[in-house]
Structures are given as C-alpha cells and as structure tokens.
Structure 1
Amino acid sequence: MMIGILVLGLGALFFAMVGLMASNTADGIAPFLLYLVTSLAMSFVVGAFLLRIQLRLRRALDRSHRKQRQLSASARIDSLTGLINRAAFMRALDRALDAWRNGGPPVAVLLIDLDHFKTVKDTHGHAAGDDVLIETARRLSGFQEANTTVARLGGDEFALLLEDDQGGIPRRVGRRLLDTLAAPIPIPNGFARVGATIGLAVSEDRAVTSQELLHAADVALYDGKRHSRGSLRAYEAGMDEAQRDRSMLEGDLRRAMTAGEIVPYYQPLIELHGDRLIGFEVLARWQHPVRGIIPPTSFIQMAEESGRIGEMFYTLLGRACEDARNWPTDLRLSVNISPTQFAEPLMASRILSILDKAGFPPARLELEITESTLVDEVSSAREILNTLRNAGISVALDDFGTGYSSLRHLSDLPVDRLKIDRGFVASAQRNGEDWRIIRAIVQLAGTFNLATTAEGIEAPEILSTLRDMGCDIGQGYLFGRPISAEQTSLWLQQRPALRAMAS
C-alpha cells in the first residue's frame, strides 16, 4: 500500500516536473532543481509518516488478533491443566452425538472425580492441590487418541469422551483410568494417594442430548462414590431416583445435626482370652423422624463432603462420654475419626476439652484412624497423635491390611493396636489364604508390641481360631450388635458376669 502511494506521488511529481521544465526553460534550471528537491523531500517525509502509521496499524492489528486468539483459547482451554474446559467438551460431545445419529459410533462419557482431593488441599495447601490436578491431567492426556477427548470440567472433576465403534472399550478404558489415578502423586514434602471414582454413560437413545448424557454419567459417578469409592460405575435405570433420594437426605442431614438426631450406638469389645468385656466401639446412627434408624454408610460420606464430619465427631464423642459415666469405670470407648479432621490444627485440644468437660479420663478413650490417614497425612497425623497419646489416649489403626501402610509407619507413629478388617474375617472360612493373612497381621503386631482387634466375628469357630492365633480383642454379631445407650445400660445389667469382670 505504501509503495503504491510513493509510486503515485513520484509519478505525479514526474509529470509536474515535465510541465515545469517546458514552461520554465527560458528562466534556467535553478527553479526546477529547487522545486525538484523540495518536492522529493516532501514526498519522502509524507511517505515515512504514512509508513509509520501503517506499521503502527499493523502492530495494533497483530495485538488484536493475538488477543482474540488468546480469548478464543481461554474460552476453550483450562489455564491450569491445559485440557479443554467444560464448554469445549460439551461442544465436542454435541458433535459426537450428531455423528452417531448419522451412522457414527456410539458415544461414551466417563466422568472422573478425585476421591481424596479435598483432604490433600486442606492438609497440604492449594499449591499441592494444583500439583495433583496438573499431574492428573497429565495422566489423563495419555488416553488422548483420535477417538477420545479429555477435559477438566472444573474443580477436581474431569471427563473423557470416547467414540466406541468396537463395544466394551469404555469399561476397559475406565478400569485403566482407575489404575492410573490410583498411583501416588508427588507433592511438596511427599506423595498423595488421591484415587478416583468414575461414572460411565453410553448413548443408547438417539434423542439423548449432551446434557442428558453427562447427567447420566454424573448420576453413576455419585452412586459409585456412595457405595464404593475407587470404582467404575455404569449408569442404570433407577439411579436418578436414588440420587434424588440422596439429595433429600443431604438436606435432612443439615437439620439432623442441629436437631440431635445423630446419636451414638455401642458395640461390645471382648477380650478373647478371658471372655471379658473391655469396652465399646462408638458407631454413629441417624434417628430419622420418617425413615427410622439410618446406618452410617448412608450419611458419613455426605458429612465428609459437606465439611460437617468434624462437628458430628465432636458431638458423638461428647454424648458417648456422658453415656459412659454411668457404666463401669474400666470400660473404654473406641471412636472412629475421619482423615479429613487431621487438617484441623485444634483437633487435639478440642478432643481433650470434651473429655475434661465430661470428666472422662483420656486413658479410657481409643481413637481409630484409617491407613490412608497415615499414608496421606503422615506429618500432621504424627504431631496430633503424639499430643493425644501424651495425654493418655490410645490409637488403633483401623481396617489394617486393606490400604498402604508400611513397616516404617508402624514404627514411626504412636499406634497401640491393629484392627483386622472384617473382610478378611468374613471370608476366612471360605478362603484359607485369608487365614494366613490374619495370622501374619497378628504376628506382625506382636513384633511391634501392638495389640490386635478382629472385626466381624459372627461364628464360634471363627472366634476359636482367632483365639488360637493369639488375637487379643474381638467384636461382631457373635457378641452383640450395635445398640443405643439405653439398651447398652440394660445389656450390662443383664450380663452380671461380664460386668463383674469389667469392674
């Protein structure tokens, strides 16, 4: 453009010069040269000015185009992980469903939610949480192929869109995803085992929309989280009703916490070698005004996800200590504590304050923690458990054998007891391998001077074998089911032999 302007200007100047020379030959060459030099100078000045304007316009256009590209990318790409975002994923899902309706392959959506992300973020900080999300995205990107699309939908929720033209592929991919995400993720000062639960939905109805298919995967995901974290759950008819019921229950839980409907139930703990009652495990029950007694499997996870688990624990502990004041003074209480509570810096002081207020000796309290607490929150757990142990409270490692504990953890942390998972005990009669596992756990506990408790004892022959193996404490339906405080007081009165042994 600028060259054209200059050529046009010089052309005009040339013809002007020709006319000037023809008319001014008699006057000499000097006026012509002066006019020529002046005109050339003016042409170059104007040309340079116009060229500078053009360069500025070009740079402004480049910046505008670059900004538009950035805005376009930000509308599609998640800035933290580099994966496409929810809006872009939904557009890709729309295109895939359109192709399927026109004879293309069926469409599957795998919705992925990280199981313990909140615990990692609360305990180790937002930077560690970002590290987990970035590493998760990197691992999921390994599944990115021609027929797949991977996205971060928001928070710790990811999605994979798969066009399946062979059948059975989505389930195989889902299982591989679970294995990939179960591996430890490096974070500052250690590793985190986060894991994931996956909901799967496959296009079956030609009229299904992208929103409906994603909703089906979401329903399957939360059904999986409610029943078995770390699993792959495919959508089935009827799950929508279950989720609506769960949503209603979540609303009821908020009211139940303030109405005092979450109450402690008690299951006996028996010393196996002397058949002596030594205490009770405290188990939460929800006395719902309409639904009746609701077991903890139906609401504990809700409490954890909503951040109410701490409040629930402290309420149960306080009520249990008040109840136990009316029982023999040698009986102790064993209470489960959620891994998420170790993110609370004042947890130890709050527990001790509750015991002091109730006049309940710390030596009569045992706290049960899970193996994941040791693995994922080992630094914070050690400090808190040391404080509680120094006050006289004992600690049990719950469901031992199902997680990732190591011998180093057993030697490092102030643990007094290993609880053998009820799954091993329940299947021991059918599977000799489980007996070998139980025997190994009992021997391992003896090596570290730890006591053992076996859960789920329901048959006399199981009791006899555990006693012969040297297991210390037992609990299960053979000794008694969880019952209310009033029923427990009556139970103690009706069993004077057990009460005398405990006194």
Structure 2
Amino acid sequence: MMTVMSCITNEHNLLLVSVAALICLFGSAITLRLLNRAVSASGGQRFGWQFLAAVAGGGGVWTTHFVAMLAYEPSAPVSFDPVMTLLSLVIAMGGLVASFSISGIRANRMFAPLGGAVVGLSYSAMHYTGMFAFSVMGLIEWQLGYVVASILLPVVCSAVAVALVSRPDLRAQRFWMAVTLFVMGIVGLHFTGMAAYRITPLTSNFPEVSPAAALALGLAIAIVALIVVGAGMASYLIDTDVRAHSQQQLRYMAAHDALTGLPNRISFTDRLIEVLHEARGSGRKFAVIGIDLNRFKEINDTLGHSAGDEALRIVSRRMAQSLDSDEFVARLGGDEFAAVKTCVTKKEVSAFADRLAEIFGRPIRVGNIEVTVGASMGAAIWPDDAEAPDELVNNADLAMYHAKHTFLDVPCFYDSGIGASVRKRRQLGEALRHALEQDELAIHYQVQKSLSTGEVQGYEALLRWTHPQLGPIPPSEFIPIAEENGLVRSLGVWVLRRACMDAVTWDKPCRVAVNVSAVQFMDANLPRLVHEVLIETGLPPQRLELELTETALIKDKGRSLHIIGQIKALGVGLALDDFGSGYSSLETLRSFPFDKIKLDRAFVDGIESDRQSKAIVRAVLALGKSLDIPVLAEGIETDEQMSVLRLEGCDEGQGYLLGRPSPIGDLAQNRQPAQSDTPRHQRVA
C-alpha cells in the first residue's frame, strides 16, 4: 500500500491525477446509470442501452488511464505507440459491450456478477495494452504481486458494482455504493499496476518533457472523454424526461375520462376516500350526488353518436368550470356522473345540485341543432345516510333512480322509503330477466272484430307476467322495468316468436297483431328476425301484423322507411298504433305505407257524449276511407260506443265489450276469461 501511495505522490502530476479522478467518477456514474436503464428494457432497446453504457464506460476509463499516464513522470524518456493506444480503446469498449451483454442475459444472481467480473478483466486488458503502448528508453521490470493485485481489484469491485445496479428498483444508496466500488476498481487497477512498473534509465541525458504540454494533452483527452460520456448522459437524461412525461400522461389517462377529460371512476373512488378521512378529522359532512342524463339516448338515436359525444363534452366542460374548491365531479361511464361536495348543512348540497341542474338545463348546440339533456340527480349525505363509502354511493344511486322514475325536476335526497322502492324495482328487474330466460311469461290475446259483421278478424298479442310470490304484475309496471334493464328487445323477440307459434295452431286463419317497441324497431336486423320467425313457425306472412307507434318512426325517417320497406316486402302487414295521441300527424300517413290505423282509446272513451271526440273520430274515419286504409277503434267498452262507431262507418273494433284478453287455451275452447283476470287494456310497449 505504501508503495502505491508513494507512486502516486512522488511519480505523478497531482493536477492531472485530479482530472483523471473526476473523469473516472463522472464516467462511472453515467455508465452504471445507463446499465441500470438496460435492466428494465428488452430486445433491441436493451442492447442500445448496453452499447451506450459500454461507449461511456470504455471512453471514460480509457481517458482516465491515459490522463493518469500523462500524469506519470518516469525517470526516462517516454513516447506512445498510436496503434497500441487505439487498440486499448477498442479493447475497453468492446470488452464492456460483451461484459454488459453477459450481465443482462438473465435477471438472476449469477450473470450480473459474472458480467461485472468480465468488466474488470476488460479494464485490465485495456490498462496493460496501454502500458505496452508506453515506450520508455530504459529497462522495465514488473512486480508480479502488484500485477495480480491490480487485476483482482477491478474484477471483484466491478462484479459487486454490476450486481448492485442490475435490479430495476435501484435506490440512491445502492447506486452510489456501486459507483464507489467501480471507481475503486479503476483507480486500484491503474495505480497498483503503475506501482508494479519499474524503470531503469539507459541514459542520464534526455530531453525534459514540458509539463505544460503534458497538461494540455491531458486536458484535450479529458475534453474528448467528457464529450463521449456527456453524450451518454444526455441520452439518459432525454430518456428520463421522456419517461417522466409518458408516466405523467399515463397517470393522467388512468385517472381521467378520455372523452370528457373529467376524472374517472378510479379518481372518484380515491377522492371519496380522501374526503372521508378529512371529514372524520374535521367533523364536517360530505354528500355524494349521483347524476344520470335524461335525454342522452334520444340525442344518440336521433343525431348520432358523434352528437352524443359532443353533448357529453360540452356538459362536462360546463360542470368543470363551475366547481368550487370543495366540489368534485367525475364521469363514471356512459351518461352517468357522480359529484362529491363537502358540507355542513343539507342546504349547501341542494344549492350545489341546483347549480348542476341549471347546467344540464342549458341548451347545447350540436351542429345546427340546439338540444337539452336534463338530468336526474340523487344525493346521500355522510354520515346521516351511510357510514361506508360504497353504501353511500349506492344510496345516492337509489335516490337518483327514484328521481328518474318519478320524473322529478329537482335533486332527490335519499331516505329509507326510497331505498326500499328502488330495491324492489331492481329485484323485479332480476325476476323479469329470470322469467324471460326460463320461459315463465305468457301471452293473452284480445280479439279484433269487424263492426259491421261481427266476424273475428284477428287477435292482438298482449304480454303478461305472473310473479311467483307477488302474483300478476301489470304491464304498466313491468314494461318500464324492462326498459331500465335493457330487456325490451328480448321481450319483443319472445312475444313475436310465441305469437306466431300460437297463431299457427288456430283453426281459423286469423291474423295476429304484435306490438313492436321503438327500441326494437330501430334495430336494422328486425326484418331478418321477422323473416326467420315466419320460416321457423310456418306462419304465412299475411297473417302477421306489426303495430308501430309514431314515436318509433320519427327518430330517423329515412331509416324507418328502409326498415318498413323490407318488412312490407315480406308480405307482413303494418298498423299505425295509438293514432291521435303523441306525435301523430297526417305527414306520417302520407309518408309510410300503413295497412291499418288504430284509433287511440282516448277518443273512444267520450265518443257517446263528447262532441269534440266524435268530431275527431269522424275526421279520422273519413281520412282512412280517402286513403283506403281501414280504421280500428280501440277501447270499446259500451254498447253506446259501439253504436256510434258503427254509425260513423268504423271498420273494426277492439275492447272489453268485444272480448277481454284471453290465454291461448281459452281461445281454443272459444270462451272468455273471467272479468277479474286482467285490468283495463294494457300492452307491451
């Protein structure tokens, strides 16, 4: 050790030694950082990082070696062999490429230290090749013990250093420990190797080497090395910045909705937990508000999904701009949002909800059209309505669903009665789904007769459901539940298939009328479904009549005409249902090829005493005759109503007076069911 220290202090220019030490430290730190970056990479990217580490490490250690060699002041004239000097640089870089490739073969305890040991051998080969490039006018003697020690030092230190940095979760303490070992190995190699080097001059007269020239050459080499190592450092910093930016983007994307930019469900959950901790510490309360847009589906169906997306973006932007510091809004998915509000009183929550309601009530311009979406909102307050966050959110949803079902224009606050009501609807929804899957539904048929002859013209298929525990559930109750649970289309398919199957078994070839909902009608596959059912059941097309309301037609006139044209091409009849109510207009009769007009029961109810109802019925009948479209009056319940309709020339009728809805078995026995079997005329939408 004393020999090594004596070599440093007595035989070297300490200024150049300091320069070499700085290059060694800087180069080692960059080399190990680049090598660590290769650990988490794969394929060509891993080799790229290993190559950069080899270039930085090889260039750094080579420069350290030759600056230290320039700092060496022997007692004899010296010169450098350029070929051997360049060869030492190639050995350093090439050796590190091989070493780092070995260390990265597999992420286990064997290959990392093995590659590190090869790093030490590469440094040793570079050092002694450089020493052979050092030509001296004198006799050279090597101390074998120091030579062996100079090789073992970098092998051991580099093996441990590379093993330390060959883990993805590299901490600062471990990194600087590896850098220290790396530097110790390089410094120990050089100065122990120089201590093994003994020179006996052959002459005492030789020109003195200028210290200034040696210093200038050493600094030039150092600058070149700094450029090489700096390039590696720049690559590392650029990649680190790109990674940080990418990670920031990924974190943002993971926490925010891509369409609207609002926080997403994950962020909502995190915010809820954060607010809960704050509320427990401060004694304040907070509310969760569930939000569901009312007319979003209508915008999607009539104007297209791009218009729906734009409406969501506009509404979300308005909400985000209106928030105070203690308020939070997130998009949970589709047209569902949730808000969190810190509060002391319920009044503060109401004010916040009213502010949101005002936003949903503002017109939204989508293209050239102005629309409004509206929203149903339900609120639950912690800890009054629930202690656990999940239960609080669920109660806010229950209140929101209650507001939607009861068409409330104001936010609805949760209470136990609301919870029971909504839970019952959800249970009925599950029960209805089960009944559909298990074929536990039924169809009743209501007769349609000619008013002039009394002859049976056909039957309308009406869906009925009897709950195992609750008994008969009226359509007015289970149809909205089916709409909420997305079952309307499946129910429509089931009714169509079952009605056609039943109609085939009738002795008299009467037609069967089946209601088609707006949801089912807008399905482009409806004509194909009708065709498949007719083929499957064997029912002649002219015996099937589909009943449509004008609501189903006005969403997309072009699409509706196309679908109706395909259905008519099959030979199936079409009836305009509930004419005179809702959106009914003469334009509909002019544009669509209907085979029948069904006059809404509202006008039949008062026809015997109400002049206006009679006038409307007379006008519709006249219109039907002029267009050569037969008219069927719904809801005939008294002889007086029947007499007026016959007198006015109505073609067909349907109602309790002519026959109540009956199961298929009662039709086969040609009898009517008891009057208590079913309430007033109700149908599947």
**Which is further off, 66-75 or 263-272?**
263-272
Decide which of 141, 144, 152 is 2:317's aligned counterpart: 141
Contact 2:328 2:340 survives alignment (8 Å):
yes
- Other-structure match for 1:107: 287
1:9–1:199 CA distance, 2 compared to 1 (3 A): same
**What SS is found at the alignment partner of 2:662?**
coil
Contact 1:120 1:192 survives alignment (8 Å):
no
Contact 2:295 2:372 survives alignment (8 Å):
yes
Paired AA for residue 376 in structure 2: I
**What SS is found at the alignment partner of 2:263?**
coil
Contact 1:342 1:380 survives alignment (8 Å):
no
Once the two structures are TM-superposed, the CA of residue 83 in structure 1 deviates from its matched residue by 1.8
Matched, 1:386 2:386: no
- Other-structure match for 2:40: none
1:399–1:133 CA distance, 2 compared to 1 (3 A): farther
| Equivalent residues in 2 for 1:113-262, closer than 5 Å | 117=297, 129=305, 132-144=308-320, 145-147=322-324, 148-161=327-340, 165-166=347-348, 168-169=350-351, 172=354, 176=358, 198-203=376-381, 205-206=383-384, 208-223=387-402, 235-257=414-436, 259-262=438-441
**Which is further off, 105-114 or 437-446?**
437-446
Once the two structures are TM-superposed, the CA of residue 395 in structure 1 deviates from its matched residue by 1.8
- Other-structure match for 1:286: 465
Matched, 1:482 2:661: yes
Name the CA distance, whole Å, in 1 between partners of 2:620 and 2:475.
27
Once the two structures are TM-superposed, the CA of residue 265 in structure 1 deviates from its matched residue by 1.0
**What SS is found at the alignment partner of 2:379?**
strand
1:258–1:200 CA distance, 2 compared to 1 (3 A): closer
**What SS is found at the alignment partner of 2:661?**
coil
- Other-structure match for 1:56: 235
Q: Which has the higher contact order (CA 8 A, sep 6+)?
A: 1
Structure 1 unaligned spans of 5+: 1-5, 21-26, 495-503
Matched, 1:267 2:443: no
Paired AA for residue 110 in structure 1: G
**What SS is found at the alignment partner of 2:237?**
helix
Contact 2:605 2:635 survives alignment (8 Å):
yes
- Other-structure match for 2:88: none
Contact 1:114 1:194 survives alignment (8 Å):
no
**Which is further off, 478-487 or 97-106?**
97-106
**Which is further off, 309-318 or 453-462?**
453-462
Name the CA distance, whole Å, in 1 between partners of 2:605 and 2:356.
29
1:443–1:97 CA distance, 2 compared to 1 (3 A): farther
Name the CA distance, whole Å, in 2 between partners of 1:174 and 1:419.
43
**Which is further off, 73-82 or 415-424?**
415-424
Contact 1:280 1:333 survives alignment (8 Å):
yes
**What SS is found at the alignment partner of 1:198?**
strand
- Other-structure match for 1:351: 530
Once the two structures are TM-superposed, the CA of residue 284 in structure 1 deviates from its matched residue by 0.6
Paired AA for residue 64 in structure 1: R
| Equivalent residues in 2 for 1:319-330, closer than 5 Å | 319-324=498-503, 329=508
Q: Residue deviations 1:111-156, cap 9 Å, x none?
A: 21667859969x99xxx64663453232243233124543221244
Structure 2 unaligned spans of 5+: 1-15, 24-69, 74-205, 674-685
Contact 1:193 1:376 survives alignment (8 Å):
no
Contact 1:199 1:224 survives alignment (8 Å):
yes
- Other-structure match for 2:108: none
- Other-structure match for 1:317: 496
Paired AA for residue 157 in structure 1: E
Contact 1:201 1:235 survives alignment (8 Å):
yes
1:112–1:304 CA distance, 2 compared to 1 (3 A): closer
Name the CA distance, whole Å, in 2 between partners of 1:160 and 1:427.
49
Contact 1:110 1:174 survives alignment (8 Å):
no
1:194–1:343 CA distance, 2 compared to 1 (3 A): farther
Q: Percent identity?
A: 30
**Which is further off, 103-112 or 367-376?**
103-112
Q: Residue deviations 1:5-49, cap 9 Å, x none?
A: x9x859x99xxx9xx9xxxxxx99972442243023123223323
Paired AA for residue 397 in structure 1: L
Decide which of 82, 99, 106 is 2:261's aligned counterpart: 82
Name the CA distance, whole Å, in 2 between partners of 1:318 and 1:256.
16
- Other-structure match for 2:214: 35
Once the two structures are TM-superposed, the CA of residue 90 in structure 1 deviates from its matched residue by 3.0
Name the CA distance, whole Å, in 1 between partners of 2:234 and 2:559.
60
Name the CA distance, whole Å, in 1 between partners of 2:273 and 2:652.
58
* TM-score normalised by length of structure 2: 0.54
Name the CA distance, whole Å, in 2 between partners of 1:224 and 1:365.
39
Paired AA for residue 664 in structure 2: A
Contact 2:444 2:461 survives alignment (8 Å):
yes
Once the two structures are TM-superposed, the CA of residue 426 in structure 1 deviates from its matched residue by 7.3
Name the CA distance, whole Å, in 2 between partners of 1:250 and 1:484.
24
Contact 1:83 1:151 survives alignment (8 Å):
yes
Name the CA distance, whole Å, in 1 between partners of 2:528 and 2:292.
37
Paired AA for residue 576 in structure 2: L
Q: Residue deviations 1:57-99, cap 9 Å, x none?
A: 3213312321231132123201233221012123344555667
Paired AA for residue 363 in structure 1: Q
Name the CA distance, whole Å, in 2 between partners of 1:260 and 1:224.
32
